[in-house]
Amino acid sequence: MRGDADEGSVREVFAAEAADNLATLKDEAATLEEKRAAAANLREGAALVGEHAIAHAAADLVERGASAGGVAALEARVYERLIRPTDVEVEGDLESEEAGSLRRLFRDEADETLERIATTLAELGDRAPGAAVLRELMRMTHTLKGSAATVQLGAIGEASHALEDAFDALRGRGDAWSQRLCDQLVELVDALRAAVSVGDRATQNAQIDAFYGLLSRLELPRGQGSHATERGADGGASAPPALSLKQRDAAVLRVDAKRIDSLMDSVGELAFDRTRITRRATEISQLATDIDRARRRLPAPARRLEGAEPDEAAREAAEILADLESELDRQLAALRQASGALLEDADALRRTGKALQDGLTRVRMLTVSSLFRQLAPQLRAMARAAGKRIRLVTSGGDTEFDKAVATHVIDALLQLLRNAVAHGIEPPETRRARGKPTEGRVTIAARQEGSTIVLDVSDDGAGIDVPALRRRFIERGAWTEARAELASDNEVIQALFEPGTSQRERADSLAGRGVGLSAVRESVARLGGEVQTRSIPEQGTRFRVRLPVTAAVSQALLFKVGGDVFALPQSYVVETAHVDATSLPRHLNTRSRTVPLVGLHQVLEAELPADARSLPAVVLAFAGKQLAITCDKIVGPREIVIKQLGPILSTLPLYAGGTISGSGKVQLIFDPAELVRIAFPEGAGPPGAGRDLRPR
Amino acid sequence: MARERATDGEKKPMRNVIVFAIGRNLYALELRWVHEVVSLPYVTRVPTAPAGVLGAVNVRGAIVPVIDVEVLGGAPAPGRPARPGDGAILLEVDDAPCAFRIDNVEEVTTLHGERRGRLTDGRGRDIAIVDPEEVVRRVAAEPPGRGGPRAG
Cβ-nearest to A654 among B48, B53, B64? B48
Tell which residue, A21, A64, A63, A26, has the closest CA to residue A41. Answer: A21
Domain stops at, among A363, A390, A409: A363
State pLDDT tens for residues A13-71.
Answer: 777 778 788 888 877 778 888 888 888 888 888 877 777 778 888 887 887 776 777 78
In chain A, what residues touch B44 (CB-CB under 8 Å)? 564, 665-668
Residues A268 and A345 in one domain: yes
Per-residue model confidence (pLDDT) at position A585: 80
Total number of domains constituting chain A: 4
Whole-number pLDDT of residue A83: 54
pLDDT for residue A509? 45
Whether the Cβ atoms of residue A571 and residue A555 lie closer than 8 Å to each other: yes
Q: How far is CA A458 from the centre of its chain?
A: 24
| Nearest-neighbour CA in chain B from A564: distance (Å) | 7
The answer as to whether A304 is a domain residue is: yes
Residues A359 and A370 both lie in one domain: no
pTM to 2 decimals? 0.59
Nearest CA among A344, A341, A343, A339 for reference residue A278: A343
**Of the candidates B95, B145, B151, which has its C-beta nearest A677's C-beta?**
B151
A412: domain CATH number? 3.30.565.10
Q: At what angle do helices A52-64 and A154-169 cross, to 10 degrees?
A: 50
pLDDT score at B64? 95
Q: Indicate whether B67 belongs to any domain.
A: yes
- The answer to whether residues A57 and A191 belong to one domain is yes
What angle do helix axes A201-216 and A154-169 make, rounded to 10 degrees?
10
* Residue numbers of A between 518 and 537 with CB closer than 8 Å to B: 525, 527-530
B149 to A646: CB separation less than 8 angstroms, yes or no: no
Contact status of A603 with chain B (Cβ, < 8 Å) = yes
Residue in A606, A646, A686 nearest the CB of B65: A646
Residue B74: per-residue pLDDT: 58
- Does B148 reside within a domain? no
Torsion, CA A595, CA A597, CA A603, CA A605, rounded to 10: 170
pLDDT recorded at residue A565: 94
Residue A567 is assigned to a structural domain of this protein: yes
Give the pLDDT confidence of B8-40 residue by residue, as tens digits.
444 456 678 999 999 888 999 999 999 999 999
The residue ranking higher by pLDDT, A382 or A227, is: A382
Percent of chain A with pLDDT over 90: 12
Q: What is the mean pLDDT of chain A?
A: 79
Same domain, A318 and A445: no
Res A299: pLDDT: 57
What's the mean pLDDT in A331-357? Answer: 87
pLDDT at residue A614 tops 70: yes
Residue A648: how many CB atoms within 10 A of its CB?
24
Q: Are residues A108 and A242 in the same domain?
A: yes
CB atoms within 10 A of CB B83: 12
The phi and psi torsions of A573 (rounded to 5 degrees) equal: -80, 130
On whether residue B19 sits in a domain, the answer given is: yes
pLDDT at A225: 44
The answer to whether A664 contacts chain B (CB < 8 Å) is: yes
- pLDDT score at A395: 92
Q: Which of A263-267, A344-348, A629-633 has the lowest mean pLDDT?
A: A263-267
The arithmetic mean of pLDDT across residues A522-530, rounded, is 81
pLDDT bucket at A76, cuts 50 / 70 / 90: confident
Look at residue A548 in the predicted model and tell me its pLDDT.
84
Which residues of chain A are within 8 Å of residue B151 when distances are taken between CB atoms? 677-678, 681, 685-686, 688-689
Q: Which residue has the higher pLDDT, A145 or A275?
A: A145
Q: Residues of A411-431 as b/e, b for ≥16 C-beta within 10 angstroms?
A: ebbbbbbbbbbbbbbbebeeb
Closest listed residue to residue A663, CA positions, set A558, A518, A562: A518
Q: Which residues of B touch A286 (CB under 8 A)?
A: none
Å from A335 to nearest chain B CA?
23
What is the per-residue pLDDT for B151? 32
Identify which of A646, A652, A665 has the shortest CB distance to residue B48: A652
Do A355 and A370 reside in the same domain of the chain? no
Calculate how close chain B gets to A657, using CA atoms only, in Å.
9
Q: What residues contact residue A377 under an 8 Å CB cut-off, 6+ apart?
A: A115, A118, A190, A193, A194
Q: Which residue has the higher pLDDT, A225 or B124?
A: B124
Closest to A59 (Cα-Cα) out of A30, A38, A88, A80: A38
Please tell me the total number of residues recorded for chain A in this structure: 696
Length of chain B: 152
Taking residue A436's Cβ as centre, other Cβ atoms within 10 Å add up to 20
B58 touches chain A (CB under 8 A): yes
Q: Which domain holds residue B44?
A: 6-141
Contact (CB<8Å) B60/A665: no
Beta-carbon contacts of A543 under 8 Å, excluding residues fewer than 6 positions away, are: A416, A419, A456, A457, A458, A520, A531, A532, A533
A252 lies in a domain?
no
- Among the partner-chain residues B95, B145, B149, the one whose CB lies closest to the CB of A647 is B95
Nearest to A648 among B41, B60, B139 (CB): B139
Domain membership flag for residue B151: no
Helix, coil or strand: residue A289: helix
Q: Lowest-confidence range among A437-441, A590-594, A688-692, B85-89?
A: A688-692
pLDDT tens by residue, A554-574:
788 999 998 899 999 888 899
- pLDDT of A85 strictly over 70: no
Nearest CB to B61 within list A528, A647, A678: A528
Residue B150 placed within a domain:
no
pLDDT on residue B18: 93
Q: Please count the other Cβ atoms lying within 10 Å of the Cβ belonging to residue A610.
A: 5
> Does A567 share its domain with A689?
yes
The ipTM estimated for the assembled molecules is 0.85
DSSP code string of A187-239: HHHHHHHHHHH--SHHHHHHHHHHHHHHHHT--PPSS--HHHHHHHHTTT---
Range of the domain at A590: 553-693
Within 8 A by CB and 6+ apart from A299, the residues are A321, A322, A325
Q: What is the pLDDT of residue A696?
A: 32
- Measured between beta carbons, the chain B residues lying within 8 angstroms of A669 are none
Quote the crossing angle between the two packed helices A97-124 and A179-197, to the nearest 10°. Answer: 170
Quick one: pLDDT band at residue A131, thresholds 50, 70, 90? confident
Question: Chain B contact for A678, CB < 8 A?
Answer: yes
CA distance B65 to chain A (A): 7
Assess contact for A71 and A22: CB atoms under 8 A. yes
Question: Across residues A362-370, what is the average pLDDT?
Answer: 85
Shared domain for A187 and A307, answered yes or no, is no
Of A548, A605, A678, nearest to B61 by CB-CB distance is A548
Q: Does A689 touch chain B (CB under 8 A)?
A: yes
pLDDT for A201 beyond 80: no
Is 70 exceeded by the pLDDT of residue A98? no
The mean pLDDT of chain B is 80
CA distances from A448 to A13, B57, B59 (A): 62, 26, 20
A688 touches chain B (CB under 8 A): yes
- From A512, A533, A548, give the residue that closes a domain: A548
Half-sphere exposure (Cβ direction) of A207: Cα atoms closer than 13 Å? 21
CA dihedral A401→A406→A408→A410, nearest 10 degrees, is 140
Q: Which of these three, A363, A380, A402, is where a domain ends? A: A363
- Measure in Å the smallest separation between the Cα of B66 and chain A Cα atoms: 10
Whether residue B90 lies inside any domain: the answer is yes
Do A172 and A265 lie in one domain? The reply is: no
| Pairing assessment for the beta strands A625-630 and A594-598 based on DSSP bridges | parallel
Helical pair A32-48 and A68-78, crossing angle rounded to 10 deg: 30
Mutate to test the interface with A, among B40, B57, B63, B68 (most CBs of A within 10 A): B63
What is the C-alpha end-to-end distance of chain A, expressed in Å?
Answer: 85
Burial of A662: CB neighbours in 10 Å, binned 0-12, 13-18, 19+? middle
Does B146 contact chain A (CB < 8 Å)? yes
DSSP assignment of chain B:
-TTTTHHHHHHS-EEEEEEEEETTEEEEEEGGGEEEEEE--PPBP-TT-BTTEEEEEEETTEEEEEE-GGGGGT-SS--PPP-TT-EEEEEEETTEEEEEEESEEEEEEEEE--BTTEEE-TT--EEEEP-HHHHHHHHHHSPBPTT-----
Q: What are A468-504's pLDDT values in tens digits?
A: 888 888 888 878 888 888 888 888 888 888 776 554 4
Q: Are residues A557 and A524 in the same domain?
A: no
Q: Which of B34, B100, B27, B22 is nearest to B64 (CA)?
A: B100
The number of distinct structural domains making up chain B is 1
Confirm whether B18 is domain-assigned.
yes
Rg (CA), chain A: 35
Query: From CA B47, how far away is CA A604, in angstroms rounded?
Result: 5
Most trustworthy range by pLDDT among A233-247, A447-461, B8-22: A447-461
pLDDT tens-digit series, residues B101-119: 999 999 898 887 777 778 7
**pLDDT confidence of residue A306:** 58
Residue B126: give its domain's CATH number: 2.40.50.180
CA distance A604 to chain B (A): 5
Buried b (16+ CB within 10 A) or exposed e, A186-209: bbbbbbbbbbbbeeebeebbebbb
Q: Are residues A236 and A283 in the same domain?
A: no
Shared domain for A349 and A277, answered yes or no, is: yes
- Tell me the C-alpha distance between A440 and A393, whole Å: 11
Residue A661 counted as domain residue: yes
DSSP secondary structure code for residue A635 in this structure: E
